[in-house]
Amino acid sequence: MKLSLGFSPCPNDTFIFDALVNHKIDTAGLEFDVHLEDVQTLNEWAIEGKLDFSKISYGVLPLVMETYTILSSGGALGKGVGPMLISKALPDLITNQINDLTVAIPGKNTTAHVLFSLAYPEAKHKVFTLFHEIEDAVLQEKVAAGVIIHENRFTYHLKGLHKVVDLGEYWETKLNIPIPLGGILAKKSLSAGLAKQMNTLIKQSIAYAFKHHYDQLADYVEEHAQEMSKEVMRKHIDLYVNAFSTDLGDAGKKAVMTLLDVYRQQHPDEKSGQEVIFID
């Protein structure tokens, strides 16, 4: 059976899925049509119901629960992993004016947008931009500030940019739970048995990666890493691939449900009676 699967080219995702999609583990006859795309594209495809299995930002979950369930493995949650608001100007010049400044956000339906809106509910001028273009937009002063994610949190300071606020830290302080960044969805039209099988295979793929490619990164990770250094790749994996990636557990599920509650408070006009279904 061949199934469509989408995830990002970022090191945490390629580290997680390498053994699965490259048949380093026994996939029990499953084949995958793999799509490596940025998270906003994957979010939009999830809204369209395009792929059988897909990585998404949890910020889009309220819009896709009718079509998808959530796998307990393969996601990105944790503490100290959240998006950051950065600027070219000194932070003191930005903080008190943020509501009236133009801010680049890495996609409308992203966790980063939910967290930014939680910290700055009155911000009026948002520009939704691909995550890898945000630093340049700030440097070129196309925007006054930007919300960065992924590996950019390790490199922004090397370009002379400044942290205004760590939005993940703000979330953790306010709610005292991990930050649910992204998860893996399974289409409801697939059988429950197939979704459970995929959840198990992802766990096995993660275990294989840690056993065989933790010290020496797999070629698959390096070839899709967009020219970042091995040091940054390693930091990226260390930060975003953790126990929650293997299994959400009760704490991870609570974090996802809390994010949904925050989203609904931010979008009171959107009605969603769909139940969140986790596949263990």
Residue 280 to residue 172: CA distance in whole angstroms: 25
Laid out side by side, the sheet with 102-105 consists of 125-128, 102-105, 145-148, 84-87, 162-166
Largest CA distance in the chain: 58
Q: Which residue has the tokens 């930050």?
A: 179
Residue 277 to residue 280: CA distance in whole angstroms: 10
- Report CA-CA distances (Å) from 148 to 37, 53, 111, 114: 17, 26, 12, 13
Residue 226 contacts residue 16 (beta carbons within 8 Å): no
Residues ≥6 apart with Cβ < 8 Å to 234: 217
Write out the H or E segment, with its range, that includes residue 57: strand 53-57
Residues ≥6 apart with Cβ < 8 Å to 85: 98, 103, 116, 119, 145, 146, 147, 163, 164, 165, 166, 167
Catalytic site residues? 150
